Amino acid sequence: METNQMLDFESCLKEAKAFHGEACAGTVIGVRMAILGLREIGITDPKGADRKNLIVYFEMDRCASDAILAVTGCHPGKRSLKICDYGKMAATFINLKTGKAVRVWAKNKEGNKVMTREDIEKAPHTEAYTMLPLEELFETREVRVELKPEDLPGRPLLIVTCESCGERVMDMRHEEINGKFLCRPCVAGKNYYSLREEK
């Protein structure tokens, strides 16, 4: 994609579709959210001249996150895309050069209504919804994000070994308790996985 087309909706949608595999409602919303967020923080060339000036926090691990990755060029592996899975259609775009940060989130059109998977399947997001004017689809607000040196792109600042499980821990994601380095799962005594019993 050429630089002058970088934030063109159709070009961005085409790239997001190629990356995600389809142009579903979430992909369209993610593309529009990314374009709006980048515009609000003054980033015009996220994959070129501005690529080292951008970090995005995304608050959901669904289709829109792929679209934001495709449009911005930010990646978890490059430490420029952070996923905080709060289940919200929201993202914060940070211009590291200027310090400006803007959070963009989808407006609540359903009020306090609880929606099950069946409800969502009966009333899917339509093309008309995804293409509402930006001011009807999203809210934006300038925010402040306290970025620590260990959260920034680049090589790890420190690598330690957990004295409980023996695994390596990078980027200050450990705790020091009574002079011992421990990974967070060992401190908490739980993890997202459990060991299978041997037969």
**Domain edges within the chain:** 3-149, 155-199
CB 20 within 8 A of CB 63: yes
> Over the stretch 63-99, which tens digit does the pLDDT of each residue have?
999 999 999 999 999 999 999 999 999 999 999 999 9
Q: What is the pLDDT of residue 60?
A: 93
Q: What three-state secondary structure class fits 148?
A: coil
Over the chain, what is the mean pLDDT?
88
**C-alpha distances out from residue 175 to 77, 112, 127, 146, 184, Å:** 23, 39, 47, 20, 6
CA distance 150 to 97: 17
Which CATH number is 155-199's, of 3.20.20.70, 1.20.1270.360, 3.30.70.20, 3.30.60.20?
3.30.60.20
At 5, the pLDDT band (50, 70, 90 cuts) reads very low
Token pair, residue 85, equals 């899975």
Report the percent of the chain where pLDDT is more than 90: 62
- Give the model's confidence band at 2: pLDDT under 50 very low, under 70 low, under 90 confident, else very high: very low
At residue 124, the pLDDT reads 53
Query: Quick check: 191 pLDDT over 70?
Result: yes
| Structure confidence at residue 125 (pLDDT) | 59
pLDDT band at 21 (very low <50, low <70, confident <90, very high): confident
Which amino acid belongs to residue 84?
C
| CA distances in angstroms from 138 to 59, 64, 167, 173, listed in the order given | 15, 14, 42, 33
d(C-alpha 186, C-alpha 188), whole Å: 5
- The first and second tokens of residue 130, run together, are 């995804």
Q: What is the mean pLDDT of residues 167-195?
A: 90
Contact present, 81 and 44 (Cβ < 8 Å): no
pLDDT of 199 above 90: no
* Close Cβ partners of 104 (under 8 Å, ≥ 6 residues apart): 33, 36, 37, 40, 90, 91, 92, 93, 138, 139, 140
- CATH fold label, 3-149: 60s Ribosomal Protein L30; Chain: A; (3.30.1330)
Residue 143: pLDDT over 50: yes
118 pLDDT exceeds 80?
no
